[in-house]
Chain A
Amino acid sequence: MPRADSANKSRLLPLTVLLALVGFGIGLVLAIINGQRQEILPHLGLFWAIGHGLVMLATWAPPILLVSACTSGEFTTRGISFASAAKGTMIPALILAGVFSLFYLFLVPPVEAKLDRYRQTSLQFNTALRELNLALHENRLEDAGRYLQVCRAIAINAPACQEATERYQMAVVRATRQVVEAEAETGMASAIAENTSDWQAGNDFYLQARLALEEGRYFDAYFLARRARALYPNRVEVRVLENLTWERLQNAIPPAELQSGRAYYARKVEGYRLLVEEEYLLAFRLFSILASERPDDPDLRTYLARSQTGLAQTYFFVDEYEAALKRYRSLPLDFNLTLDDRQLRLQAELALAGPDGIFFKNVTYRQDGADAILMGSPLARLTGNSLIPRAVQRERPAETLEPLWQSDAATGLAVLANLPFNEEDVRLVMQFSGQPGDIPLHHLLFSLDEAARLGRDRTTLQRELGLRLSYPFTMIILVLLGIALGMRFRGPNSPGPVSIVIGSPLLVLLASLPIKIFSDGSLILLNLLASQTGLASFLAAWLGMLAGVTVLCLLLAVKIAAASPV
């Protein structure tokens, strides 16, 4: 008997590991095939495949453990009782059940969330790339630039993105050339049209230039003389006047460097004035231009930083959103809150929770009541309880994304401050917004009531929690029944290694079908409890029921094993 027990121990673990590896391998292969179909980005491909393999392993773990326990039961000595057989097998089987349960409860949800993010990111990239190609085909360069920006934000090094960038740049060069050529053609045409009256027009400019010279307006005089010569270059007195005005101009104004320095200083002063008057966007635009002219000016760096700090109160940079898009999971958001009979609703096509706040794409905010607000914005950021509905391009500060208002009270507000909800509330809702399977267990256990208060469906969340909690019980039940079934359906001889290695994966497939039907059936009871009870009573009822079923299965296992052949 002790020999049989030790044999059981030695077979259960290697067989489970073997089957787990097969399950993981199948998941990996399926993920590679599936990844190609879903156009997963190449740099995410490896993580996608491994993640998929892990999820597949978690899905197959119950039948794997059942078959391992069954095979272990097949090796028990004839005439042995269930209790004696279980003694040798139960401890390693329960350890395995525990390992699988921990794996399922704590590792699978974040892995699933990551897979979801990879899927969404790839989808966003591919959609933007398709739109970019269409925009380039239809010569909509502005739209193409926007889509390219999305592609570059997600995967700048992807070959498809680099190729698209080259095509975009070529299209821009082509378009610029066309514009220049068109302008040149227009200029020539107007010159021909005006040729007949050149002398008359040139004379007018000449007379005006002389008048300006007499009045001491040397710059105007020189300009008008040049215009006159351009129109009628053969007139000698015009050339003389041009030279004369140039000499006067040279003597009247300071050298070019000095003039440039003064203009630069004047613009800096103008920027400073804007900064003092808290016109941060205008100041930032001006300082950005000056910084590109003189990047080594320390004053300018200081003012640019100050204007940027001020600007952050009313605007955020689009590249901050793009950086978040690259790193964090995006979800559609529908946040509802009822406060003193006042309805609030924040909806976004995409929401991204980063450390610097929550970014929203195509967001609408509606607030009922006396201070009603209806606002929509292409991009917005929530920090604390302030919603910034404006964004600006850091490299091209002239381009801003502005909100649309449909309420008089709030129109033109720089920031929606002191909102009745804050960043943490939205983060919590976002945690509960995705697939229920992606929500970490601790959130389900400790934040479920709060999430229900913020409008999430309590029944769905409780059902998911119940499903997770049932996993360890399911594993224990399968171990118990597996050992009993192995004993009951023990052959005349113990199965050979070939039969085990080849047969076990087939047995796993066969076992998965009834397990699925039973788990689907148990969902009915779970739904009932989740929909009719609060969290505390739900947990008590569900855990009590699972414990009861486990005891019943233990009794059933004893009965099945008792009918085993002697």
Chain B
Amino acid sequence: MEKLGRVILRYLIVLIATDGLLVGLTILQCIPSLKTLSVVDWEAQFGQLVRQTPLIALPAATILTCFLSFYHITRLFRSRLAGYLTLGSLNLIIFCLPLLLRRLVWPELFLATPFLDRTPLVRFLSGYRSLLVWLDAAGGESWLLMPLLVAPAAWLTAALWPLTRFTRQRPLFGALLGPAGCIGLFYLFSVYLSPSSNQLFKYIGFTLPAHHSAAILSLMTVVALYLFDLLFAYKPLGVKKETHA
């Protein structure tokens, strides 16, 4: 339990820090577009964007935090299942947070609105918009279906863990494969949410909304990555206490 507590605490601290960093970057990006540095000008042009950015950036911050937690969890946990459950659950909660806020507190919050294109996240990570579209569509579903449709995205993020444990002989591969996998994840989301992926389901006889087919494809990828973990990745180290040389 102590390990779990430490993981959750560290996860939340890193999440807040990365979300804050992403918000900061968005604000910095907005400043050059301002004609004057007045509050009125600022509010008129970027008020809504900056207020919503902490929630808009939350999925990206979650993915980054999850990646940064992989090495920590590898050192602390001995069981793969425990690691996946911990990270998968944390990711799911954080992914659902903006959707819950929209339903309960802030109905005007829309993740996929036109001004999104001005945020650095959408500009630099072309697949990020797709993830937001997915979450936005899932947020419009029933209470039961919403977490079920969001869960594959959350679990897929956690399922990148074995990439960081790819080979014990040369752990450097894992160290560089992990971040590349996280960046690739955004492109994967956009591929899964594309019309051609949806067409694949139509071809085999299922007519589904795009975010449903994306969820199914993500779930299949999660299973594939779990198998990859069992076959190729080394087991987590699971030391009792964090050791620093």
Please give the number of chain A residues whose Cβ is less than 8 angstroms from any Cβ of chain B in the complex. Answer: 37
Chain B residues with CB under 8 A of A524: 25, 28-29, 120
B205 contacts partner chain A, Cβ-Cβ < 8 Å = no
Chain B residues with CB under 8 A of A514: 179-180, 183
A563 contacts partner chain B, Cβ-Cβ < 8 Å = yes
Contact of B176 among A491, A492, A510 (CB under 8 A): A510
Question: Least Cβ distance of B232 to chain A in Å?
Answer: 15
Q: How far is the CA of A524 from the CA of B23 in the complex (A)?
A: 12
B38 contacts partner chain A, Cβ-Cβ < 8 Å = no
Are B169 and A517 in contact, with the CB atoms below 8 A? Answer: no
B 147-170 binary contact with A (CB < 8 Å = 1; else 0)? 000000000000000000000111
Question: Least Cβ distance of A478 to chain B in Å?
Answer: 12
Are B120 and A521 in contact, with the CB atoms below 8 A? Answer: yes
B107 contacts partner chain A, Cβ-Cβ < 8 Å = no
Are B32 and A459 in contact, with the CB atoms below 8 A? Answer: yes
Q: How far is the CA of A491 from the CA of B165 in the complex (A)?
A: 12
B 109-130 binary contact with A (CB < 8 Å = 1; else 0)? 0000000000010001100000
Chain B residues with CB under 8 A of A70: 172, 176
Are B175 and A485 in contact, with the CB atoms below 8 A? Answer: yes
A135 contacts partner chain B, Cβ-Cβ < 8 Å = no
Are B245 and A489 in contact, with the CB atoms below 8 A? Answer: no
Are A528 and B32 in contact, with the CB atoms below 8 A? Answer: yes
Are B171 and A489 in contact, with the CB atoms below 8 A? Answer: yes
* Max chain B C-beta neighbours (<10 A), residue from A79, A459, A563: A563
A486-B28 CB under 8 A given contacts A517-B183, A520-B124, A564-B245: no
Q: How far is the CA of A520 from the CA of B168 in the complex (A)?
A: 32
B177 contacts partner chain A, Cβ-Cβ < 8 Å = yes
B143 contacts partner chain A, Cβ-Cβ < 8 Å = no
Q: How far is the CA of A562 from the CA of B43 in the complex (A)?
A: 46
Contact of B245 among A492, A499, A510, A565 (CB under 8 A): A565
A563-B245 CB under 8 A given contacts A521-B124, A524-B120: yes
Are A566 and B245 in contact, with the CB atoms below 8 A? Answer: yes
Are A491 and B179 in contact, with the CB atoms below 8 A? Answer: no
Are B32 and A531 in contact, with the CB atoms below 8 A? Answer: yes
Are A527 and B124 in contact, with the CB atoms below 8 A? Answer: no
B228 contacts partner chain A, Cβ-Cβ < 8 Å = no
A334 contacts partner chain B, Cβ-Cβ < 8 Å = no
Question: Least Cβ distance of A393 to chain B in Å?
Answer: 51
A 481-497 binary contact with B (CB < 8 Å = 1; else 0)? 00001101111110100
A532-B171 CB under 8 A given contacts A79-B245, A510-B177, A521-B120: no
Are A562 and B124 in contact, with the CB atoms below 8 A? Answer: no
B98 contacts partner chain A, Cβ-Cβ < 8 Å = no
Chain B residues with CB under 8 A of A71: 172
Chain A residues with CB under 8 A of B171: 489-491
Closest to A514 in B: B179
Are A503 and B29 in contact, with the CB atoms below 8 A? Answer: no
Question: Least Cβ distance of B122 to chain A in Å?
Answer: 12
Within 8 A of B (CB), among A520-540: 520-521, 524-525, 527-528, 531-532
Closest to B237 in A: A565
Within 8 A of A (CB), among B223-245: 244-245
Are B180 and A510 in contact, with the CB atoms below 8 A? Answer: yes
Q: How far is the CA of A555 from the CA of B169 in the complex (A)?
A: 28
A511 contacts partner chain B, Cβ-Cβ < 8 Å = yes
Q: How far is the CA of A565 from the CA of B31 in the complex (A)?
A: 44
Are B176 and A503 in contact, with the CB atoms below 8 A? Answer: no
Within 8 A of B (CB), among A207-262: none
Question: Least Cβ distance of B60 to chain A in Å?
Answer: 11
Closest to A487 in B: B245
Closest to B26 in A: A524
Q: How far is the CA of A566 from the CA of B244 in the complex (A)?
A: 9
A74 contacts partner chain B, Cβ-Cβ < 8 Å = yes
Q: How far is the CA of A527 from the CA of B169 in the complex (A)?
A: 43
Are B29 and A527 in contact, with the CB atoms below 8 A? Answer: yes
A513-B172 CB under 8 A given contacts A532-B31, A532-B32: no
Closest to B163 in A: A510
Question: Least Cβ distance of B116 to chain A in Å?
Answer: 16
Q: How far is the CA of A513 from the CA of B171 in the complex (A)?
A: 18
Question: Least Cβ distance of B134 to chain A in Å?
Answer: 21
B184 contacts partner chain A, Cβ-Cβ < 8 Å = yes
Chain A residues with CB under 8 A of B83: none
Chain B residues with CB under 8 A of A531: 31-32
Closest to B120 in A: A524
A491-B169 CB under 8 A given contacts A510-B177, A513-B183, A524-B120: yes
B173 contacts partner chain A, Cβ-Cβ < 8 Å = yes
Question: Least Cβ distance of A237 to chain B in Å?
Answer: 98
A507 contacts partner chain B, Cβ-Cβ < 8 Å = yes
Chain B residues with CB under 8 A of A499: 169-170
Chain B residues with CB under 8 A of A520: 120, 124
Chain A residues with CB under 8 A of B177: 510
Q: How far is the CA of A70 from the CA of B174 in the complex (A)?
A: 13
Chain B residues with CB under 8 A of A493: 169
Q: How far is the CA of A348 from the CA of B177 in the complex (A)?
A: 50
Q: How far is the CA of A142 from the CA of B182 in the complex (A)?
A: 61
Closest to B123 in A: A520
A485-B172 CB under 8 A given contacts A513-B179, A514-B183, A517-B124: yes
Closest to B21 in A: A521
Contact of B173 among A492, A507, A564, A565 (CB under 8 A): A507
* Max chain B C-beta neighbours (<10 A), residue from A521, A525, A562, A565: A521
Chain A residues with CB under 8 A of B245: 79, 562-566
Chain B residues with CB under 8 A of A513: 179-180, 183-184
Chain B residues with CB under 8 A of A517: 124-125, 183
Question: Least Cβ distance of A3 to chain B in Å?
Answer: 21
Q: How far is the CA of A564 from the CA of B171 in the complex (A)?
A: 11
Chain B residues with CB under 8 A of A489: 171-172, 174-175
Name 14 A/B residue pairs within 8 A (Cβ), A-sorted: A74-B172, A79-B245, A488-B175, A491-B171, A510-B180, A513-B184, A514-B179, A514-B180, A521-B25, A521-B120, A525-B28, A532-B32, A563-B245, A565-B245
3 interchain residue pairs of minimum CB distance: A531-B32, A510-B176, A489-B171
Interface residues of A (CB under 8 A from B): 70-71, 74, 79, 459, 485-486, 488-493, 495, 499, 503, 506-507, 509-511, 513-514, 517, 520-521, 524-525, 527-528, 531-532, 562-566
